[in-house]
A and B are shown apart, each in its own frame.
With several copies, the nearest count.
Chain A
Amino acid sequence: MPLTPDDRRQLYRFMCLSRAVEDAAWALAGQGRLVGRLYTSHGQEAIPVGAAYALRPDDVIAPMYRDMGMHLVRGVAPVEVFAQYMGKRGSSNAGKDSGLHIGDMARGIVGMISVLPDSLPVAVGVALAFKLRREPRVALTSFGEGAASTGAFHEAVNMAAVMKVPVVLVCENNGWALSTPPEREFATAAIVDRAPAYGIPGVQVDGNDVEAVHAAVAEAAARARAGGGPTLIECLTMRMRGHSIIDPADYVPRAQLDAWAARDPLAGQRERLAAAGLWDDAREAALQAELRAEVDAAVHAAEAMEDPLPGDVHTGVFAA
């Protein structure tokens, strides 16, 4: 199914919404109004948006901590994001955990943890369940190129390959693992070079091209759904902010940032839409105004929510 004009505008809209939410979050974090540390997808928005948009509603995602766009595409509202970031009582984690660790199986979202890349084996297990039950559903998980150095990555990808489970493995290679560049994480040119080692298809895409990401994931998901097993997709991108809000990222060369700034995924999609006659300044102005309003309202609504009560600490360790 090729993307309709509407789809293509939706992809752009979700990236803009992601950027707007994260810009606001960045400002709030700077003012000390969030709980815990903030990690954002600035510059990488095309990956979570393009990937999640290629899935069906009953597919399951097991995202990484930068994947704002995946949550938005799955229907997580900005107010939910801010409530979560503020640790509000009514948020997904109810203040017990923080960051983008939102979990909600009703919307097919596996809530991540900080340990890298622990959602990956979990996604393989979700996919295994789909396979055992012969359901035409897929699981998609994402992780950084640095996380691919871990044993958990290897065990999970290998198991997925051996069991041929319907999982899509999205590596967001953003040039840095905190302060560590790829050449100190692996001795090959790319993460996708590992696909043959597991006997699975691998594809490398421009991670700043949302339609390319979408196409790659759609193809991988279709293959998985048809019983073709896992695919490793490496999306090349660049982390345009520090690792987290407290990281000034002095170690990143200016030239690298400049080169990638010229390839902003939002601008790229906007220009492509405009060239196709699907976008213009009026639509842009309207969208930005709409997003500003939506985000402002969401921030206010979240801030008005109740904080956790001390006694909440005791609840929920076990399911009853």
Chain B
Amino acid sequence: MSTGSAMRTLTYHEAVREALWQAMEADPAVFLMGEDIAAYGGVYKVTAGFVDRFGADRVIDTPIAENAIIGAATGAALVGMRPIAEIQFADFIACGLDPLVNMTSTIHYRWGQPVPLVVRAPAGATWASAGPFHSQSPEAWFAQIPGLKVVMPATPADAKGLLTAAIRDPNPVIVLEQKYLYRRLSGPVPEGEHVVPLGRAAVARPGRDATVVAWGSMAFKALEAARMLADGDGIDVEVVDLRTIVPWDRDAVLASVARTGRAVVVYEAHRTAGFGAEVAATIAEDGFADLDAPVVRLAGLDTPIPAHPVLEAAYLPDEHAIADALRRLVAY
């Protein structure tokens, strides 16, 4: 899936930029729209410099109007463009939810017209006091709506490869970029074209004793937990990074659980009715015979995401909490 694949080390943030840049270079139908994305380069500077290269017609600052951003991007997609709409923070998708879930997601089912639209949004908590309105992980909302694809890359290579796949997909794809990882995580990324197919999980670390299913920032935390357990406890954990939330890779998850017999599902969204409930329920139904222990969920609390670092830390699962859950599970 990669050509000209000389590897360099890039940050997650650089990898997102590279995917966007290459897509803009390759396809004149691709354009960007969003708040403060041109001269300002976006609040996370993902599109810094783009307007100088591609011009104000392809890097469009919009008014503060999430509903119209998503609605208009949908319209442009209907007539041959490949819009990439940025929502400044995933939390503000609530303001444009109606067009996404009622209009955009249903068009192909209702009248057969593809809608090649990407909605990018920085998502997730930051371990840095972003508070209740700049920390949310709304993937479960979208997973409940047929017709939308959802990806949550957890590595620089996937940030590039999944975004590239999203841009080429004929369907609306929501890319929840992990702002926690933007500048914190570096890794090898192929230089040329790099496409990670939607819908395939990655075994981020193979292991025998238990499976952790995670995505986004929690895949990163799960790997840390797995390293701690390997070093300190002699527990060999397999980490399955879901990568794509819709459509999700049931087969890979069930295959891993069949190998290990034990599963922890970790996500940073609120526990109740989070996407981890879907994963856990599926394992419990279709992997029942393989299970040596209950499927455990570890997630954000059922509270707004608090601002103060003491409270935010109490809200979020971290590597220690994941390791503890795994220790308990392996001892079950």
Contacts and interface: CB of A to CB of B under 8 A. Distances in A.
B109 A96 contact: yes
Contacts of A104: 111
A150 B95 CA distance: 9
A36 interface: yes
B311 A95 contact: yes
Contact of A162 (B63, B71, B146, B149): B63
Interface string B302-315: 11101111110111
A287 B79 CA distance: 37
A60 B71 contact: no
A35 B103 CA distance: 20
B108 A319 contact: yes
Interface in A297-320: 307-314, 316-320
B99 interface: yes
B145 to A, nearest CB: 10
B171 A319 contact: yes
Interface string B97-141: 011001100111111111100000000000001111110000000
B308 A180 contact: no
A129 B75 contact: yes
B36 A178 contact: yes
A146 B63 CA distance: 7
Interface string A236-277: 000000000000000100000000000000000000000000
Interface stretch (A5-13, A73-81, A117-125): A117-125
B156 interface: no
Contacts of B313: 310
A319 B168 CA distance: 12
Q: Place the interface of chain A in its size category.
A: 35 or more
A132 B61 CA distance: 14
A151 B94 CA distance: 12
A159 B147 contact: no
B329 interface: no
A139 interface: yes
A237 B130 CA distance: 28
A180 B36 CA distance: 6
Nearest to A124: B72
Nearest to B111: A103
A251 B39 contact: yes
Interface in A142-190: 146-147, 149-152, 155-156, 158-159, 162-163, 177-180, 184-186
B63 A186 contact: yes
A121 to B, nearest CB: 3
Nearest to A147: B64
A316 B112 contact: yes
Contacts of A210: none
A233 to B, nearest CB: 19
B281 interface: no
A185 B63 contact: yes
A179 B36 contact: yes
Contacts of B110: 93, 96-97, 101, 103, 111, 113
Contact of B91 (A115, A163, A312): A115
B61 A126 contact: no
Contacts of A101: 110-111
A139 B75 contact: yes
B74 to A, nearest CB: 5
B68 interface: yes
B235 interface: no
Given A123-B75, A124-B72, A251 B311 contact: no
Contact of A149 (B43, B64, B83, B304): B64
14 contacts: A35-B129, A95-B310, A96-B308, A105-B113, A115-B102, A118-B71, A119-B103, A121-B70, A129-B80, A129-B81, A147-B64, A149-B64, A156-B68, A317-B147
Q: Which 8 A-B pairs have the closest CB atoms?
A: A125-B75, A121-B71, A95-B308, A125-B72, A103-B111, A179-B40, A114-B133, A149-B63
Interface of B: 31, 35-36, 39-40, 43, 57-58, 60-81, 83, 91-92, 94-95, 98-99, 102-103, 106-115, 129-134, 146-147, 149, 170-171, 301-304, 306-311, 313-315
Given A114-B132, A127-B75, A158-B65, 13 more contacts: A97-B106, A111-B107, A115-B102, A118-B71, A118-B102, A126-B76, A126-B79, A150-B66, A159-B69, A180-B35, A314-B303, A317-B303, A318-B149
